[in-house]
Structure 1
Amino acid sequence: MADRPTFRGVVWRRACTGGECVEVAYEDEWVGVRDGKQGDDSPVLAFTAEEWRAFLQEAKTGAFDPS
């Protein structure tokens, strides 16, 4: 697998709920997630496409819902 990308010059997509925003971008086989309020100053969490798909699947089942 390629080295972790820099996520510079990519298109960030924003999702907000209750004033809290995250941004997601794709580069090669990687997915970057950052804090929407910090924008370019935010650290980026990077996931492989496979890790991201697994996360989304679990989120759809409610695995991360607060108890």
Structure 2
Amino acid sequence: MSDRLVWRKSSHSNSEGGNCVEVAVTPAVAHIRDSKTPAGPGLAVPARTWEAFVAALRLSG
């Protein structure tokens, strides 16, 4: 994953270093990683898939 991506940490993450998810969304792809291991493995999904996932979470919450 590119270092030029702008990563955002989940609003549900805290400063205690718990389970944190970061996402960097481009027009075509959403990149998802664990903030504790930013150089480790991550996921890349189509941006439309990420948007549908977030929308479903909002409806269920």
What RMSD, in angstroms, separates the aligned Cα atoms of the two structures? 2.0
Q: Could you list the runs of 5+ residues in structure 1 that have no partner in the other structure?
A: 1-5
Q: Could you tell me the TM-score, scaled by structure 1's length?
A: 0.68
Does the 8 Å contact 2:26/2:47 carry over to 1?
A: no
Q: Could you list the runs of 5+ residues in structure 2 that have no partner in the other structure?
A: none
Q: Could you tell me the TM-score, scaled by structure 2's length?
A: 0.73
Which of the pair has more CA radius of gyration? Answer: 1
Letter in 2 for 1:54: A
Q: 2:42 matched to 1:47?
A: no
**Runs of 4 or more consecutive aligned structure 1 residues displaced over 4 Å after TM superposition:** none
| Percent of paired sites with the same residue | 33
Equivalent residue pairs, number: 57
